[in-house]
A and B are shown apart, each in its own frame.
Chain A
Amino acid sequence: GEDVEQSLFLSVREGDSSVINCTYTDSSSTYLYWYKQEPGAGLQLLTYIFSNMDMKQDQRLTVLLNKKDKHLSLRIADTQTGDSAIYFCAESGRTGRRALTFGSGTRLQVQP
């Protein structure tokens, strides 16, 4: 079955790098995603990576994918207080319904 796991909490100082990790079990995942949820808001897509890629960089965000270990990470460089939020890892399998399977989210707290 499909399962996505994340650590629950990460605290960093402003200006440091943050690394949020995720493991998944569905080897047929075509895309893997990182969504950001700010307090009281819906989820917003931050970035995604196709399953045949190892790395994707988008400004301050770097996504690393290790398909062998089914491990995904999100690195945020120069973390700012505005980055404080919950970050969800999600995967999209090959099923026709196109639904996502989400992890439980990692709460990132950025200390000034």
Chain B
Amino acid sequence: NAGVTQTPKFRILKIGQSMTLQCTQDMNHNYMYWYRQDPGMGLKLIYYSVGAGITDKGEVPNGYNVSRSTTEDFPLRLELAAPSQTSVYFCASTSGGVYNEQFFGPGTRLTVL
């Protein structure tokens, strides 16, 4: 199993540009998440999904959109990039089982200039 994979690893965007961060998991997990990690801070929840076709906002959803058309994929869309979106983005998934272990991807480091 590859686990949770994310692409790209690094990206530099100009203000106002758009991009999609890709996330795929091969563990057949229903629950998937996008977090952002700002320097010296913990992870903040952007969006989450409890299954294909079902998504909802987390704590910091402004400026982002998501979709979940399949169990495996959970892309995160930035429509109009702003410097405040400079961060490291992590995708995670879990089966939601007994102790709810979340599996994380390696992260995407995004810089908006």
Contacts and interface: CB of A to CB of B under 8 A. Distances in A.
Interface of A: 4, 8, 30-31, 40-45, 48, 50, 88, 92, 96-100, 102-105
A100 B50 CA distance: 14
B8 interface: no
Interface stretch (B13-21, B74-82, B93-101): B93-101
Contacts of B92: 43
Contacts of B35: 102
A102 B45 CA distance: 9
B91 to A, nearest CB: 9
A99 B16 CA distance: 30
7 contacts: A40-B107, A41-B107, A92-B100, A97-B56, A98-B31, A104-B40, A104-B42
Nearest to B35: A102
Contacts of A105: 40-42
Contacts of A31: 99-100
Interface of B: 4, 31, 33, 35, 40-43, 45, 48, 50, 56, 58, 90, 92, 94, 96, 99-102, 104-107
A88 B104 contact: no
Contact of B42 (A42, A50, A88, A98): A88
B102 A100 contact: yes
A26 B101 CA distance: 19
B58 A42 contact: no
A97 B55 CA distance: 10
B101 A45 contact: yes
A48 B48 contact: no
A53 to B, nearest CB: 11
B20 to A, nearest CB: 19
A50 B92 CA distance: 21
A98 B105 contact: no
A44 B101 CA distance: 10
Contacts of A98: 31, 50, 94, 96, 100
Contact of A42 (B41, B96, B106): B106
